[in-house]
């Protein structure tokens, strides 16, 4: 099995829709650290699991310096962002989204 990891820092704003009162309901920003994990039993014709540049263009290129509420079709919690990123990339099985120091959400696909 081959494994690759890509770490990106994305600046972006969001506000959350919550069932309780929170300061996170107001528009605010983070320097998100998103770590993508991909794997494959076989390499593609170029000898890669996935091209790091493809990951950067697809995720960083789309989200960086954006309002995540406008770019994503869901409540942009770290958990939902992690799932969305994973769904965007072939061979991706795990994504870590750190929205601030000490606060991280992880999404990992089931192995079924």
pLDDT digits (tens, 9 = 90+) for 61-93: 999 999 999 999 999 999 999 999 999 999 999
- Concatenating the DSSP letter of every residue in 45-77 gives TTS-SS-HHHHIIIIIHHHTTEEHHHHSSS---
Does residue 50 register a pLDDT over 80? Answer: yes
* pLDDT, tens only, 12-38: 999 999 999 999 999 999 999 999 999
Distance from C-alpha of 33 to C-alpha of 42, rounded to nearest angstrom: 28
- Average pLDDT of span 3-10: 98
Q: In this structure, are residues 56 and 6 in contact, taking their beta carbons and an 8 Å threshold?
A: yes
Does residue 42 register a pLDDT over 90? Answer: yes
What are residue 73's phi and psi, to 5 degrees?
Answer: -90, 35
Can you give the pTM of this predicted structure? 0.94
Distance from C-alpha of 112 to C-alpha of 103, rounded to nearest angstrom: 28
Distance from C-alpha of 104 to C-alpha of 89, rounded to nearest angstrom: 20
Give the model's pLDDT for residue 111.
Answer: 74
Give the model's pLDDT for residue 112.
Answer: 60
Q: In this structure, are residues 12 and 32 in contact, taking their beta carbons and an 8 Å threshold?
A: yes
- Domains of the chain are 2-108 (3.30.479.10)
Reduce the DSSP state of residue 15 to 3 states and report it.
coil
Burial of 63 (0-12, 13-18, 19+ CB in 10 A): buried
């Amino acid at each position: 099995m081959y494994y690759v990891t890509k770490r990106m820092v994305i600046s972006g704003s969001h506000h959350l829709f919550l069932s309780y009162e929170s300061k996170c309901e107001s528009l605010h920003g983070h320097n998100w650290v998103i770590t993508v994990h991909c794997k494959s039993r076989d390499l593609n014709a170029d000898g890669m699991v996935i091209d790091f540049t493809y990951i950067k263009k697809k995720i960083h290129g789309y989200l960086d310096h954006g309002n995540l509420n406008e770019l994503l079709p869901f409540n942009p919690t770290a958990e939902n962002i992690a799932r969305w990123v994973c769904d965007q990339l072939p061979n991706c099985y795990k994504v870590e989204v750190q929205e601030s120091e000490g606060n991280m959400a992880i999404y990992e696909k089931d192995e079924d």
